Amino acid sequence: MVSKMRRISSAAKEMLEKKIIPFWMRMRDEEYGGYYGFLSQELVLDRKAEKGCILNSRILWFFSEAALLLEREDLRKEADHAYAFLTDYCIDRSNGGIYWSMTYDGKPLDTTKHTYNQAFAIYALSAYYRLTGKEEALKLVQELFGLIEKRCTDQVGYLEAFTADWQPESNEKLSENGVMADKTMNTLLHVFEGYAGLYQATGDLSVKKAMEHILDIYAEKIYDAGLRRQLVFFDAEYHSLIDLYSYGHDIESSWLIDWGCGLLENDVLFKKISAINEEMAQAVYEAAFDGHSLANECDKGVVDETRVWWVQAEAVLGFVNLWGKNSARVEYKDAAVEIYRFIMDYVVDKREGSEWFGYLDAKGSPLPDKPIVEPWKCPYHNGRMCMELIRKDPEIYV
């Protein structure tokens, strides 16, 4: 258990520098490029596992942001390595856009073009451009922005799944819980996130306009004021398909959308969106926080008590952000502290050569057969938690 009180930002810096960064540096594939795509819970590395393009985009984002924050040349070199794999292999040079996944040696494996995937490439390349100033990275990220706006939108919002040549296909990859969704809250959130990264890097007014459009969809279609939460899966007209409460996505959105909206310097819009996010985060605190960690989701009234690594990381940031808006409500600060302690005590894998467990039960025991690395398990959520805590440096102790 944690015994020594210290500022949460210094604890996060130690976790970032001593646990997360060294682990992902060891996942670097020197022979075929990029980063290995699978490490089992038993810490067995599969050197020939598929390399998800989302995984490699997130790794590029992570090392770019870490290099900017910590001013370390070795992290700049990791970002260069990730950038080389993304640009050499993951881009479809004929049809444009980013594939879904590659073989271990860089051949297209799943050629689906998903809006979610394009958005993460934008997020990553924007951070890399801020780090390096490389014009080729800027050109590529602007092309991807143009592709999403041209290929992935309709009169209502953002479409999601396409074939390699940009023909519509079914959205299995972002659908779950027994429904097939045309549009999802999750994809829209990360398109906004990617655009926010691009706007941060360039100040492009066309990106700002697109972000404001997404915030309109968020406020009018995604957020349900009566339920105080986001709806999750939709048909093409943004009619909700299922009674699903995603605690993790709501607490993530509550701070992440605040951040992106704040970049726009539109006081009226920010006041409106911030009020939604505050209400949403308060609802998550009431519904999902048990005093030490956050449950995963509630499907048709049945709570999934799984403790998922990324949900805990985003909850720390969400409750820190909520406490910043309500400094007298110390319970929100306490929630961030307790979840951080849960992470340190249970989610962080203490074994040499490992990082964080992905899925645990409510008591903190790792669920069996859940890998340490797979196409969705990456340094994006936990690395970002650490970096945001370092940047914010809140007066919080763990």
Give the closest residue to 99 by CA, choosing from 79, 128, 126, 120.
120
DSSP assignment letter at 77: H
**pTM to 2 decimal places:** 0.98
**What class has domain 44-242?**
mainly alpha
Residues in the chain: 398
DSSP symbols for 279-312: HHHHHHHHHHB-SS-B--EEETTEEE--EEHHHH
- The pLDDT score that the predictor gives to residue 2 is 46
Residue 322: both structure tokens together: 């909520």
Give the residues of the chain that fall short of pLDDT 50: 1-2
| pLDDT attached to residue 124 | 98
| Tokens at 122, concatenated | 């934008």
Distances (CA, A) of 196 to 111, 199, 255: 26, 5, 13
Quickly count: other Cβ atoms within 10 Å of residue 327's Cβ: 10
Structure tokens at 121: 């490439």
Side chain identity at 85, as an amino acid letter? F
**pLDDT at residue 258 in the model:** 98
Distance set, CA 88 to CA 92, 148, 220, 376 (Å): 10, 21, 40, 21
Tell which CATH classification among 3.90.226.10, 1.50.10.10, 2.60.40.1840, 3.30.9.30 matches the domain 244-398.
1.50.10.10
Cβ(187)–Cβ(213) under 8 Å? no
- Sign of the Cα torsion 58, 256, 286, 221 reads negative
Domain coordinates in residue numbering, the chain: 44-242, 244-398
Output the pLDDT for position 1.
43
What residues are paired with 299 via a beta bridge? Answer: 244, 302
**Which residue matches tokens 């258990």?**
1
Same fold flag, 44-242 and 244-398: yes
Give the strand pairing for 223-224 and 183-184. unpaired
The per-residue pLDDT for 61 is 99
Q: In whole angstroms, give the CA distance from residue 355 to residue 19.
A: 6
- What gap in Å lies between CA 109 and CA 178, rounded to an integer? 26
pLDDT at residue number 251? 99
Q: Which amino acid is located at 151 in the chain? A: R
